[in-house]
Structure 1
Amino acid sequence: MKKQIMLAVSLALAGLSAPAFADGSGFIRVEAGRADVDIRADGIGNGSDDDTAFGVRGGYWFNPNIAVEGFYSRYYSASYNDGFDTYDVKLHGVGVGLVAKKNFGGNHTGFFVGGRAGVARGVATVEFDGSLEDAEASSAKPYFGVSAGYDFSETFGLSVNYDRLKSGGDGVDVTAETLTLGAELRF
């Protein structure tokens, strides 16, 4: 399924004509902040924890209001020891989606609000120290986010972002909600 989604996105991008790219710009955005992670495991129970989140996003603005993006984000990483074994728990995600933004200043500068949505593959792993067994749950599900910020120029802006990603599999459901500060460079 994920190969078909990636193929469809690739074909759609390849089918865009050269004049559509003439007015656009590429971008890269780094984000860092806090993630609230909720985990529900069948037969074990529920739990939640906070951790530092960071990510990198990149893509292409077709015009000042619409872009495509790809991203990698690390939401959670922690180690636990139950007296016998050490467990390393990690959650990260990769995805592709669409971004929309509305600037309230002239020349694509000033305050803005935005949103993004797409498909992300969240991967939760548990590694058991001293054991050959590892557990992994992953799935491709929709993600969404909203942002507000300020574009200081046509090439640089800062934003506050809220994003939500779900993942799961094998009786495990994971939800990550992040609040981050982002810096975007357009070229």
Structure 2
Amino acid sequence: MKKSLLALAFISAGACALPALAQDASGTDTTAPAASGNYQSNQAVGSGNWFLSGSVGQSHLYQGPYNDHPTTYAINGGYRWKVGQDMGLGVEVGYNDLGNFKVKNAFNSNDVNLTDQRNALRGWTAGVNGRIDVYRGLYVSGRAGVYGWKGHGYNNQDINRHNLDKVDYYAGAGVGYDFSDHFGLGVSYDVYHAKKDGVSLSTDTASVTAEYRF
């Protein structure tokens, strides 16, 4: 599943859209005017926008001693170029908080009382993103890159809490709608790989994202 999502993110970020505008022999545009929300169709190829986005959602961690789904938060920013009639490619950096996980059924068949310590996953992201405007403001998107994370957690082999950090990867795909040239709202599914020293904090997230373009 995670390998398929990574492939989908790269395909979404690198695919080329078919031209959305057509002209008749006299040079008259025979295509319906672009919706005001389809901001990429209102731009010239080669132009671009700075953007800032915020996300809130829920994570899903079912690894080792964990079975939890806390609330997640993320902020992201970057620049996106128009590289085709209805396609944009960009770069991004961001920070996320993937929640505090509770240990459940670790080391034996019963719950263990370790909730007084935070088993957290936080990190910085840096990567590429892409989006294709499908129809009158409706778009599909993809993103992928490196994930520099810090976390705290346990494995199934011992009862020692580990403080960890590493550079791994992330990937995601989504769909959304542009309400104007500057504002869009979407939903996305992302995977953040975070594994070290026998502790796996790799997390899937489902989020709602609002994006503002300058």
Same fold per superposition (TM over 0.5): yes
Aligned to 1:130: none
1:121 aligns with 2:148: yes
Cα deviation for residue 136 of structure 1 reads: 1.3
Checking the alignment, whether the CA contact within 8 Å between 1:122 and 1:166 is kept in structure 2 is: no
* Equivalent position to 1:62, from 81, 105, 109: 81
Partner of 1:89: 119
> Partner letter of residue 60 of structure 1?
Y
Deviation at 1:38, TM superposition (A): 3.0
Report the TM-score, using the length of structure 1 for normalisation. 0.73
Distance 2:113 2:121 in 1: 23
8 Å Cα contact 1:149-1:157 kept in structure 2: yes
- Name which of 52, 58, 62 aligns with 2:71: 52
User: Structure 1 stretches (4+) deviating beyond 3 angstroms?
Assistant: 78-85
Which of the numbers 158, 161, 164 marks the counterpart of 2:191? 164
Task: Say which SS state the counterpart of residue 35 (structure 1) adopts.
Answer: strand
Which residue does 2:57 correspond to in 1?
A: 33
Structure 2 residue runs of 5 or longer lacking an equivalent are 1-45, 104-110, 154-159
More strand by share: 1
Deviations 1:61-103 (A, max 9, x none): 1225101011111111156796698222111121101001001
Larger Rg: 2
Structure 1: any 5+ residue segments left out of the alignment? Answer: 1-21, 41-45, 127-132
Tell me how large the CA RMSD over aligned residues is. 2.5
CA contact (8 A) 1:122 1:168 kept: no
Q: Distance in 2 between the 1:173 and 1:82 partners?
A: 18
Aligned length: 153
Give the TM-score, by structure 2 length: 0.64
Give the alignment partner of residue 97 of structure 2, picking from 62, 66, 74. Answer: 74
Q: Is the 8 A contact 2:66 2:101 kept in 1?
A: no
Q: Deviations over 1:19-43 (max 9, x none)?
A: xxx7211000000011002333xxx
Matched to 1:149, the amino acid is: G
Identity of aligned residues (%): 28
